[in-house]
Amino acid sequence: MRRVRAARGLRPRPGTTNALLVKTNAIETVPPGRLYGRRRARPLRPGQRQLQLELLPRLTIRLPHEGRLDPRTLFPMPVDAVWLEIGFGAGEHLAEQAEAHPHVGFIGCEVFEDGIVRLLSEVARRGLGNLRLFTDDARLLLAALPPASLGRVFILFPDPWPKRRHHKRRLVAPATLDLLSAAMEDGAELRLATDDRDYLAWMLEHTIAHPDFVWLARRPADWRERPEDWPATRYEAKARAAGRTPAFLRFMRRPRR
């Protein structure tokens, strides 16, 4: 019942949050650093290979052997905030956001080589100096960030891993939400998107159950319609072409006490 209620945009009844939290904390998850899925689809073209060899090393984030990584030091100019996108796909959303917010520092996490080089092409074409890349498991990066260092986080159309035995591979899970909660500033926004109905229910169930996040939706249009400041992606277009309806979820990191 809780999944059905969540998928319809309803909040859990008073008194159910603790029960949900006990349930979700028991979810089995894949250890940080272990990733599944392809990292490469096809050989790179010469121009892509050149970007990979010349531009990627200048943008790549390397984690410190000890201590924390201050994300504001990654950029050549002072930034007002740091925003993170996990699994940026082909990078069109990340590039649009970085161009629209030149005073914000952006970090993109992706391991798929084709997506990385597509984003590199956009960085070069648009002259984006406020974007850095982490090409490994995003959870490793989150664990290295100082508390309250991210102003916004995007996880858009992650792999739903539909088979039950693969649910432990889902990115939006209690363990990841704990890492996000620690790294996000008070009042920071977490944006999630999916076109998979089961994953939508899963996202709502686990994120609503987390004590540090509050769902910002007040009416159905708040999650059925993409906000104007949320650039479209090819994954959204592909979903709509296949007859699937995407959902756009916005959560706020509660103020720390």
Report, as residue numbers or ranges, the catalytic residues. 159
State both tokens at 66: 């000890």
Best CA proximity match to 40, nearest among 31, 50, 24, 52: 52
CA dihedral 52, 151, 24, 29 (to 10 degrees): 20
Best CA proximity match to 102, nearest among 121, 125, 83: 83
Reported as type and span, the H/E element at residue 176 is helix 174-183
Terminal C-alpha separation, the chain? 32
Strands 81-86 and 104-109 come out as parallel
